[in-house]
Amino acid sequence: MRVAVIDRERCRSDKCSLECIRFCPMVRVRREAIRLGEDGKPIIVERLCSGCGICVQKCPFRAITIVNLPEALRGEEVHRFGPNAFTLYRLPTPRRGTVSGLIGRNGMGKTTILRILSGELIPNLGRYHDPPTPEEVVEHFATTPLQDYFQALYEDEIRVVYKPQYVDKIPLVVSGRVGELLERVDERGVLDSVVEALGLRGVLEREIAVLSGGELQRLAIATTLCRDVDVYLFDEPSSHLDVYQRIQVARTIRNLVGEGKMVIVAEHDLAVLDYLSDTVFLLYGRPQVYGITSKIHVVREGINRYIRGYIPDENVRFREKPIEFHVKPPTPLRPKGPSLLKWTPLEKTYDGFSLRVEGGEIGEGEVIGILGKNALGKTTFIKILAGLEEPDSGEVQASRAIRVSYKPQYLTGTIRGKIGDVLEEAAGEKDMGTWFGSRVLRPLHVEDLLERDAGELSGGELQRAAIAICLSREAEIYLLDEPSAYLDVEERLAMARAIRRIVNDRGVTAFVVEHDIVAQDFIADRIMVFQGEPGRRGVGSRPLSLEEGMNLFLRDVGITFRRDPSTKRPRVNKEGSKLDREQKRRGQYYYV
């Protein structure tokens, strides 16, 4: 069984000699396995393709992928977007009184699954030329629980609400005040409790058009929770949110379980997914080519199997090496290398907001992680270090002349032109060959973006390119503001590993603002914690040891962490569990 995919965005058939067609051996035997379509771009006829891979090697833009799949998947196609396009195999089954998580890389079909389960998209079962009717879909899933689900869905016997992934589009379709919208959709009579839990009290009188990304995310979740339906579907509910808000969202979603609702959540933050879900479905395959939904797993074992890259009950290995976490020894309060940068107590005041940061220093070969709620001045502190803002009092002192490389939080419009050209310009005369490719470009999958223009990249692609560009510059200090935004689980850990390698190999330093606790645990040597009142007053601590900083931060959030004995990954204890109560009693919120 063979799947051939041609990325229509990467394919530049008007800029190449079409060697993919000229060298196809099936053309010589008068069986045109690959030919030009009506749009002037190649089309591969899968039933004629021999899978030789010549066209894959000949394409200069890496636009062609050919994959041989097990025959066991034949007949399990759920949806295909067209000839030589992405194919999804199998679906998860919603269960009453259960929160089920979807975990997998970007481009594996998580959003497609949620659209199908919501009824927004009727699965074509691979028949994109002759789509089936809803009745045929129901018949296709005969003898499985999905037959009952789709029959009830298509006959309007169950109601479904779906929170989409891209909340920034909400102002394009909805207008008016936040409070008015929530009042209109409050079918369960839970408006006050949801507003309080999600921290929306202060924005009820504001227009939807002026909300920030985090406020739009919480509004979208609130409108979803206020609906009285049978099935709740959430697509990446933690994006744009800080750790405090992510935990509050998870707690509020979990309340639906007690009402016997069916809940499915697609999420990249492993800590949130672990805390939120009862069961998980793994999605594996190749991004933008094909995705396969695994069988159901209990949440701990499912996430551990995803980290190992191997599913024993299906005898499938989808990653060559497991993701490895390491238990870190206690970190020192002082820099672990020669001091490179010091700052005295800093103060900065804007109209209605004040920031104060304790004095501190950072040494060579060290990474300082920065944690805290949104709107407490973390980005302002990074900009002061980058020289983009001047403090009202205090100063930043370097032990020698230093260069700074800065990746901002918001990337729109910051990168222009072809990614390969921007990378070369950023690197200057520095060699961008084997070392940088193996340490940064390949792990972050940036090599596939080199011929792409920044204006046509998705959020995740642009983020990966921006990280690579930042790390390619010759600098002593790297400043990265929320580098995990829009990245999937593997990309987040690849990002953390790339930063650590650059810091260790070059003997440089880095500051990383990050809301993903798992990624922060993976990358940071010491921690700075920002506290205060969002939007009004921020107080940043000096760099603390990992244990002290995490304990301070997690005490504020009200959650405790332990390490999984099998994979060593940080795990959030279920609220009120025996271990949670015991760690809180001892004041040990975080295990080093």
Structure tokens at 478: 């790297």
Q: What mean pLDDT is predicted for residues 448-459?
A: 88
What is 2-68's CATH number? 3.30.70.20
What whole-number distance in Å separates Cα of residue 497 and Cα of residue 475?
Answer: 18
| Mean pLDDT, rounded, of the chain | 92
Q: Does the pLDDT value for residue 227 go beyond 60?
A: yes
DSSP state of 177: B
| Helix and strand totals (H; E) in the chain | 21, 28
β-pair type (279-286, 77-80): unpaired
User: Is 189 buried (19+), middle (13-18) or exposed (0-12) by CB count in 10 A?
Assistant: exposed
Q: Does the pLDDT value for residue 334 go beyond 80?
A: no
DSSP state of 428: T
pLDDT in tens, 483-518: 998 899 999 999 999 999 999 988 899 999 999 998
Q: What is this structure's pTM? A: 0.90
**Position 554, amino acid:** L
Task: Output the CA–CA distances (angstroms, integers) from residue 147 to 1, 102, 135, 141, 291, in the order listed.
Answer: 26, 20, 10, 5, 21
* CATH fold of the domain at 348-544: Rossmann fold (3.40.50)
The answer regarding whether domain 77-159+229-308 maps to CATH 3.40.50.300 reads: yes
Q: Are 254 and 299 in contact (CB under 8 A)?
A: no
Residue the block writes with tokens 């750790």? 243
The alpha carbon of residue 326 and the mean position of all alpha carbons in its chain are separated, in whole angstroms, by 22
Structure tokens at 248: 């509050």
Question: Strands (DSSP E) along 15-61, which ranges?
Answer: 34-36, 42-44
Which of 110, 236, 219 lies closest to 173, judged by CA?
Answer: 219
133: CB partners within 8 A, 6+ apart? none
Q: Are 101 and 277 in contact (CB under 8 A)?
A: yes
Structure tokens at 84: 């030589």
Q: Across-strand partners of 510?
A: 367, 478
Structure tokens at 128: 């994109």
pLDDT at position 330, please? 60
pLDDT at position 78, please? 97
Task: Output the CA–CA distances (angstroms, integers) from residue 486 to 51, 88, 214, 460, 462, in the order listed.
Answer: 34, 21, 13, 5, 9
Q: Are 206 and 180 in contact (CB under 8 A)?
A: no
H-helix or E-strand containing 22?
A: helix 19-22
Q: Does the pLDDT value for residue 278 go beyond 60?
A: yes
295: CB partners within 8 A, 6+ apart? 281, 311, 313, 314
User: Is 434 buried (19+), middle (13-18) or exposed (0-12) by CB count in 10 A?
Assistant: exposed
243-254 vs 213-226: helix axis angle to the nearest 10?
Answer: 10
pLDDT at position 31, please? 82
Share of the chain above pLDDT 70, in %: 97
Which of 103, 61, 154, 506 lies closest to 319, judged by CA?
Answer: 103
Structure tokens at 91: 């679906």
**Position 329, amino acid:** P
pLDDT in tens, 184-207: 999 999 999 999 999 999 999 999
What whole-number distance in Å separates Cα of residue 263 and Cα of residue 572?
Answer: 20
Domains of the chain, residue spans: 2-68, 77-159+229-308, 348-544, 558-592
pLDDT in tens, 373-411: 998 999 999 999 999 999 999 999 988 889 999 999 888
**Nearest-10 Cα torsion for 463, 464, 469, 471:** 110
Which of 105, 114, 117, 111 lies closest to 283, judged by CA?
Answer: 105
pLDDT in tens, 113-168: 999 999 999 999 999 999 999 999 999 999 999 999 999 999 999 999 999 998 88
Domain 2-68 matches domain 77-159+229-308 at the CATH topology level: no
User: Is 201 buried (19+), middle (13-18) or exposed (0-12) by CB count in 10 A?
Assistant: exposed
Q: Are 555 and 566 in contact (CB under 8 A)?
A: no
pLDDT in tens, 461-491: 999 999 999 999 999 999 999 999 889 999 9
H-helix or E-strand containing 546?
A: helix 546-557
